[in-house]
Amino acid sequence: MADITEDAVRKALAGIRAPGGGDIVSSGLVSGIAIRDRMVQISLEIGDPSKAESYEPTRRDVEKVVGAMPDVLSATAVLTAEKGAGSAAPAKPASNPGGIEKGAGKIRHIVAVASGKGGVGKSTTAVNIALALKQLGLRVGMLDADIFGPSQPRMLGISGSRPNSPDGKTLEPLESYGIKVMSIGFLVPEDQPVVWRGPMVMGALQQMLDDVIWGELDVLIVDMPPGTGDAQLTMSQKVPLAGAVIVSTRQDIALLDARKGLNMFRKVDVPVLGIIENMSMYICPNCGHEAHIFGHGGAKKEAEKLGTPFLGEIPLEIEIRLTADGGNPIVVSDPESPHAKAYLAIAEKIRTALDGPGAGRAAPLFTTE
């Protein structure tokens, strides 16, 4: 397997025509090339942010050409735009109580939505909770922290989109249904696996917090990867989490893993806001019979045993799955449905836990001001 060199990448890029004439290399459009583990990232300096749309075909051509090079695993091109020479230098971010320097703005609460194992509907639950909090009038962001299996771009109907970089260093989150979104899925092709070791995953998670211009948010929902590994521990220890929500099904194995996740958060002093029982029951669309396929009430009993709030239960309903897969989650596609109202009731409990009387500790203010 031959090494991928910057010279080889530039040679390939020299065959792409720049919008203003000439090729993109000789015209100075290519401002940076980074190569790591057969993954190539190219920065294209366009000067004026308002020209981003006109340069989008060029950006796609760059990804196509570099992605076709021998031994290249993935290629990502990002448009960057430096501020004009007369612009004032941006103020240096001030350190915040959480020990993390951020993009401009403030985030009042960061809430992790987690599960002890995969396949329990954590990401579907996370996106519907985020949208329900938005319906309650909060300013909401969604961070897809599941590096190896990012789901939020598709669930929010913005897969294939790319975040803009106004200065070549930070990224602007995308927006869907009124919430701000960032995911590794915006930077890697949807069908391309992310083959990274632990340190790279940790670095990517840190960058998606530090280098994203979130602005002012009331709540940032973090869709955590399943399990209790390095990613979960890093997020718990380095991010000022206001609390965690655990998603589980009724099955004993799922509840056992959920208990592990809950105990992990407690060990690192992150308040557990509560447990959600997903796929709690199946209601026959023809006769209305309620069938408890996985049993019923197990998560509620587990919550009582562990001394943590039970936030609610969500039925096993095909419309919840279809709307999420279609990029139009049920909270926005059918807000008057009983399923959407179930998510809304859970979101209300989360808001109360964060801001109401007797709430657990608040996260240190997430700010750069």
- pLDDT of the residue at 82: 52
Distance of alpha carbon 92 from alpha carbon 131, whole angstroms = 33
Handedness of CA 318, 319, 322, 325 (dihedral sign): negative
Indicate if 106-367 has the same CATH topology as 6-80.
no
- pLDDT of the residue at 161: 86
Question: What are the domain boundaries of the chain?
Answer: 6-80, 106-367
Question: Does the pLDDT at position 255 exceed 80?
Answer: no
The one-letter amino acid code at 327 reads G
What one-character DSSP code corresponds to residue 114? Answer: E
pTM: 0.68
Count of C-beta atoms within a 10 Å radius of residue 192: 14
- pLDDT of the residue at 280: 75
- Beta-strand relationship, 243-248 and 174-176: unpaired
Count of C-beta atoms within a 10 Å radius of residue 3: 8
Q: What are 368's two structure tokens? A: 């750069």
Mean pLDDT (the chain, rounded): 79
Helix 122-135, helix 318-325: angle, nearest 10: 80
Provide mean pLDDT across the span 275-296.
Answer: 71
Lowest mean pLDDT among 223-227, 237-241, 323-327: 237-241
- pLDDT of the residue at 129: 96
CA angle 232, 115, 283 (to 5 degrees): 165
Strand, helix or coil for residue 334: coil
- pLDDT of the residue at 10: 93
- pLDDT of the residue at 111: 94
- pLDDT of the residue at 105: 61
**Fold (topology level) of 106-367:** Rossmann fold (3.40.50)
pLDDT digits (tens, 9 = 90+) for 173-227: 999 999 999 998 888 777 776 766 666 777 777 778 778 999 999 999 999 887 7
Lowest mean pLDDT among 98-102, 135-139, 267-271, 272-276: 98-102
- pLDDT of the residue at 288: 66
Provide mean pLDDT across the span 157-168.
Answer: 86
Give the percent of the chain with pLDDT over 90.
29
Lowest mean pLDDT among 95-104, 204-213, 285-294: 95-104
Question: Does the pLDDT at position 92 exceed 70?
Answer: no
Question: Does the pLDDT at position 228 exceed 50?
Answer: yes
Closest by CA to 169, choosing from 103, 77, 87, is 103
> How does residue 304 score in pLDDT terms, banded at 50, 70 and 90?
confident
Write the CA distances from 184 to 153, 188, 195, 261, integer angstroms.
9, 6, 12, 23
Give the percent of the chain with pLDDT over 70.
77
pLDDT digits (tens, 9 = 90+) for 111-159: 999 887 677 888 999 999 999 999 999 999 999 988 888 889 999 999 8
Provide mean pLDDT across the span 52-59.
Answer: 83
What number of CA atoms fall less than 13 Å from residue 282's CA on the CB side? Answer: 8
Question: Does the pLDDT at position 323 exceed 50?
Answer: yes
- pLDDT of the residue at 71: 84
Question: Does the pLDDT at position 363 exceed 70?
Answer: no
- pLDDT of the residue at 214: 92
Question: Does the pLDDT at position 87 exceed 80?
Answer: no
Distance of alpha carbon 93 from alpha carbon 308, whole angstroms = 37
Strand, helix or coil for residue 285: coil
Question: Does the pLDDT at position 296 exceed 70?
Answer: no
Q: Which CATH architecture has domain 6-80?
A: 2-Layer Sandwich (3.30)
CA angle 312, 366, 219 (to 5 degrees): 25
Strand, helix or coil for residue 186: helix
Question: Does the pLDDT at position 89 exceed 50?
Answer: no
